[in-house]
Amino acid sequence: MQEKSPVMGAAAANIFHLRVIFFSLVLLSLATSAAGVAPDTLSNGSNITDGNTLVSADGSFTLGFFSPGLPSRRYLGIWFSESTDAVWVANRDSPLNDTTGVLVINGTGGLLLVDGSGQAAWSSNTTGPSSSAAAQLLESGNLVVRDQSTGAVLWQSFDHPSNTLIAGMRLGKNPQTGAEWSLTSWRAPDDPATGDCRRVMDTKGLPDCVSWRGTAKKYRTGPWNGLWFSGVPEMASYSSMFANQVVVKPDEIAYVFNATAGAPFSRLVLSEVGVLQRLVWDPSSKVWNTFVQAPRDVCDDYAKCGAFGLCNVNTASTLFCSCMAGFSPVSPSQWSMRETSGGCRRNAPLECGNGSTTDGFMAVRGVKLPDTDNATVDMGATLEECRARCFANCSCVAYAAADIRGGAGGSGCVMWTADIVDVRYVDKGQDLYLRLAKSELVSSKRKTVIKILLPVTACLLLLMMNIFLAWLCKCIGKRRKKIIQKKGLLGYVDASNKLGDENLDLPFVSFGDIAAATNNFSDDNMLGQGGFGKVYKGMLDDDKQVAIKRLSKGSGQGVEEFRNEVVLIAKLQHRNLVRLLGCCIHGDEKLLIYEYLPNKSLDAFIFDPASKYVLDWPTRFKIIKGVARGLLYLHQDSRLTIIHRDLKSSNILLDVDMSPKISDFGMARIFGGNQQEANTNRVVGTYGYMSPEYAMDGAFSVKSDTYSFGVILLEIVSGLKISLPQLTDFPNLLAYVSTMECSISIQFKLILLILHGLDYTFTLVQAWSLWKDDKAMDLVDESIVENGSPTEVLLCIHIGLLCVQDNPSNRPLMSSVVFMLENETTALSAPIQPLYFAHRTSEAKQTGENTSSSINDMSLTVLEGR
């Protein structure tokens, strides 16, 4: 029991380790249930030696000795019996070096951990008057020392959290004694020593949970507003599982959560790098699932946009920061370089009740409230009183309701007098009322006018609305002036004309602007090169980073058709698809403008020995599901059925939070989806990801994409390139073979023969054989062995093999794939061995198609030898 799977630390290369972990987990849980006889109480005079445990009455928690890393470092701790993950560690900074440790309770009720020589390695420091104290491990996981005669609590482990908060524990402060309940990270996953990161309840201003790394504030939840922390409204959605509460009493300001009856066991853990995760125990598969984590995205970085900045993740631009209305960047040049922490300053100084020109307030709606450290709080005031107070005090720059309960905009008053920092948009966010000089308030006045007119007459309102809309359109038009091409665009200035009420705003950009944005298509700006052309990074409209794809010439498609296709494709919008923002036609140049994603593509992570660790299993599983959903949308849920035809891991881009976005979709359409041409003129698709029927006969369907998806899935799980090196590694070969006057089928065979003579990586046949022999875990990438859930991993391998079956009609539709991924318990059919390529290659040998026999032999040895 106390040998706490040291295997876990040693990241090793394959299946065997996962199996060992799995079995040790099984053994551990067996051991736990067998150990039901262990007592839950340590009474005066008795002790616990290394090897013995205390187990709570219901068996859920165990106290004992364990070694999370080196076996020579023994710690006393409490862990959740089923998973052996420590929730509390006593001697985290003074491990014992052998198994001679003993936990004793002394005559005055002190808990002492003594080593073999009788030295105390840790002490609870309690000195009660009692001579009859006992320590009990409660069912909540709390170790409590009580005076037996009075029942008074002398000490409890819940008052001394380590890196974990479980139901019933407090995170907060006692303002009277200054005592604090806070989380401190471990130094490393296998080292419980006090680490760098802390999570505390900030009780200055409104209660706010803050993560620190060293002396730097990293993330705050936003102030408690009576129902949730202002920046985490999603708390409300799971409050039925974990009842969240902030207790405010004279001797306690603290966050506590309770597990409601039937809710799974959960814990909040502060990781070594300062990420707080709520993990939830799944008793059936015996894994911890990440329920939520914080920070969630770039806008959660503390004060990312500086003073009076406003962060927004839901923007097409990668500049997430903007200034609040009435403010401008302090340093526009730094701001344009994405260095936004310098913040913003007022356009016009406040007047503060000076004569007829007075300041006013402007509502910034739906935000996480700013840091309230230096703010003034009055819970008794109403929002109206708050406004009046802020108005009367010249140093007040903003106010907001401190408690949103009770409707009418909430009650309570919080007023800021200094800089406002760390504000972001959130769903169900609060309203912040910002003080502005009169001259800056004009636009909001206009809205007020509309509001006053509203009840007067409906007709008038309609009229006003029309005017307003016209004005709005004009404004948007003006804003876009730079983007929208005015001449030389074949007359298509307004793409929405033809689409009527589709209100699609696909801007056409002039070639000149694009050339300027990409530094005249300089190589420095080039991001990559694909089958359809080169991709450049560019800066449009001064502040908007975009990716520009310059299609290779000679697609054979007319301008009108191209334009129609692009307009259709631009209407496809999905979380897992890269957004098409605009396009340009210039002579026979055709360019597409996409949103720019700063992270690289999937292949840059999974195949790179250094980067692959960034993608742990939960992230990879999320990526797999995201790609599946994006593809399902393309195939089925969008109004067009789009077959991607070139799905591969380098076409899957990752955004800041590692969500996948499929790129290059609709290319086949844009490029003139003429199948005949695709077969004879150019190779669409990438060898290795191409399904047999497409590679050989040029026949494609949604099932060809399913095939490519299967290959990608197996690559994500294995971290290996499947089947063939990507042809981009062999540009000359590709170029050479592509120029040959022969069918794509023969081209393909040639390439297959040549590449199989090289040192290649892995074949689908091998993957299938391993699966068949129950050795599928051998496929799993070493970097995910540690945190991978065997059930999920095996499910993915199974689905991957179903997707790469030779016969398209055997492959599942993407809708089934999504279903199978979401429902782990679905019964799946056994995949049929993928033989096509092997078979066809040997056929090629038998018919001796213009290839030298030595190459044939080599390829055959490789294909059949494994």
Ligand X SMILES: *[C@@H]1O[C@H](CO)[C@@H](O)[C@H](O)[C@H]1NC(C)=O
Cis omega (within 30 of 0) on the bond before 192?
Answer: no
DSSP reduced 3-state for 585: strand
Which stretches within 666-807 are classed as H helix? 667-670, 675-680, 692-697, 702-718, 731-738, 744-756, 764-772, 782-785, 790-803
Residue, CB closest to ligand X: 110
Give the whole-angstrom CA distance, residue 566 versus residue 666.
Answer: 9
CA–CA distance, 494 with 864 (Å, rounded to integer): 59
Size of the residue set binding ligand X (CB under 6 A): 38
Q: How far apart are CA 638 and CA 575, in angstroms?
A: 13
In the set 191, 202, 646, 781, the catalytic residue is 646
The residue among 18 and 104 lying less far from ligand X, judged by its C-beta, is: 104
CA 426-432-435 angle, to 5 degrees, is 145
Nearer to ligand X, 104 or 793 (CB): 104
Q: Indicate the helix (H) or strand (E) that contains 211.
A: strand 208-213
* Residues 121-150 close enough to bind ligand X by CB under 6 A: 123-127, 131-132
Residues 481-520 that bind ligand X (CB under 6 A): none
Residue 395 interacts with ligand X (CB under 6 A): yes or no: yes
State the minimum distance, in angstroms, from the CB of residue 552 to ligand X.
Answer: 53
The only residue of 110, 195, 274, 507 in contact with ligand X, by rule CB under 6 A: 110
Give the x/- contact pattern for ligand X in 323-352, rule: CB under 6 A: ----------------------------xx
Q: Minimum distance from CB of 118 to ligand X (Å)?
A: 7
- The span of 367-375, 400-408, 504-512, 815-823 binding ligand X (CB under 6 A) equals 367-375
Interacting positions 752-791 with ligand X (CB under 6 A): none
- Out of 176, 245, 529, 861, point to the residue binding ligand X (CB under 6 A): 245
- The first and second tokens of residue 382, run together, are 């109403």
Residue 641 within binding range of ligand X, rule CB under 6 A: no
40 is catalytic: no
Q: Helix H segments across 35-141?
A: none
Binding mask 38-67 for ligand X (x = CB under 6 A): ------xxxx--------------------
From candidates 20, 21, 35, 243, binder to ligand X by CB under 6 A: 243
Residue closer to ligand X (CB basis): 127 or 810: 127
376 sits near ligand X (criterion: CB under 6 A):
yes
Between the two ends of the chain, the Cα-to-Cα distance in Å is 42
Site string for ligand X, 211-240 (x = CB under 6 A): ------------------------------
With binding defined as CB under 6 A, does residue 106 bind ligand X? yes
Rg of the chain over Cα atoms, rounded to whole angstroms, equals 32
Query: In the bound complex, what is the minimum distance in angstroms from residue 397's beta carbon to ligand X?
Result: 10
Cβ closer to ligand X: 127 or 529?
127
**Residue 301, interface with ligand X (CB under 6 A)?**
no
Q: Which of residues 412-471 bind ligand X (CB under 6 A)?
A: 417-419, 421
Q: Which of 806, 820, 804 is nearest to 632 (CA)?
A: 820
In this structure, how many other beta carbons lie within 10 angstroms of the beta carbon of residue 34? Answer: 10
The CB-of-125 to ligand X minimum distance in angstroms stands at 4
Query: By the 8 A CB rule, do 706 and 812 touch?
Result: yes
Q: Which among 719, 714, 737 has a CA at the least distance from the CA of 727?
A: 737
Query: Long-range contacts of range 582-588, CB-CB < 8 Å, 24 or more positions apart?
Result: 582/483, 582/506, 582/507, 582/508, 582/509, 583/506, 583/508, 583/509, 584/485, 584/508, 584/509, 584/510, 584/511, 584/514, 585/489, 585/490, 585/508, 585/559, 586/488, 586/510, 586/511, 588/553, 588/554
Out of 13, 19, 27, 97, the residue judged to bind ligand X by CB under 6 A: 97
- CA–CA separation, 146 vs 95, rounded Å? 26
The annotation status of 549 as a binding-site residue, yes or no, is yes
Among 563, 569, 529, 564, residue whose Cα is nearest residue 549: 529
Q: Tokens for 675, please give them.
A: 């199948």
In whole angstroms, how close is the CB of 191 to ligand X at the nearest point? 18
As to burial, measured by CB atoms within 10 angstroms (0-12 exposed, 13-18 middle, 19+ buried), residue 698 is middle
Closest to ligand X by CB, 45 or 558: 45
Based on the shown chain and the rule CB under 6 A, indicate whether residue 371 belongs to the binding site for ligand X: yes
**Residue 522 contacts ligand X per CB under 6 A:** no
Taking contact as CB under 6 A, which single stretch among the options 324-332, 372-380, 427-435, 822-830 is the one that binds ligand X?
A: 372-380
Residue 680: φ, ψ to 5°:
-100, -35
Binding site for ligand X (CB under 6 A): 44-47, 97-98, 102, 104, 106-108, 110, 112, 114, 123-127, 131-132, 243, 245, 258, 351-352, 354, 371, 373-374, 376, 393, 395-396, 417-419, 421
- Catalytic center residues: 646
Write out the binding residues for ATP. 549
